[in-house]
Structure 1
Amino acid sequence: MRTIAVSGVSGSGKNTTLNKLFDALTDNIQSKIIKNKVTHNNTSSKDFWSVFEYQIQDVNKKIGIYTAGDALDIVQTAMEIMNQNNVDIAIIACRTKGDAIEFINDQNKIGNTVE
């Protein structure tokens, strides 16, 4: 699984960016929603995760989006959910500093593909 961290400080537009990506994938004829926006029960925000199947040059790829990645335990949960759904590309929001981004960077060091 290739993981892309959308990182930034609180209020920098991570969720807005991922919501726009969700909308773009939803509107694209080459993509199909596998799991629609699944909201988080433990938050009062608009955080969600979703999985798409997207056709790229006659190859189907699963793309996962996870917006609630500021804390380490949430990023770990995001990675588990993406693995359970066999995504090829996971796009996860996280803060610029702290355990969550360090975890993603550590995954890269042990051989998991993370950007």
Structure 2
Amino acid sequence: MNVPTLTGNVGAQNRIGADRYCLAGGELYASPIHQHVGARLLDLQNRFALKCYGIVNSRAGWQREKADVCAFAHNLPDERFEAYGVCYGPGPKTVRPGAASKF
């Protein structure tokens, strides 16, 4: 119950020398990540399910030997998705939407 049929993350990372942007050494990096969460059944009778969803998150920053400065972004396209749900008996069902974009 409340376990996705499939979950997964796919990401990539690109790094370039920070010297070309007048930063004192190190590397600049960007890392987009696609997160998929499959459909989930929420009651014992399998009558209530949340839809699957996919969102894009990202991380970008500057890294040097002993320093790392970065920023994270969650849910970049600001998708609305069903993050959590509860079934209270045969009738009432509630769904909590997922978080909006955060920068």
Common fold by TM > 0.5: no
The one of the two structures with greater contact order (alpha-carbon pairs below 8 A, sep at least 6) is 1
| Larger strand percent | 2
Q: Greater Rg, structure 1 or structure 2?
A: 2
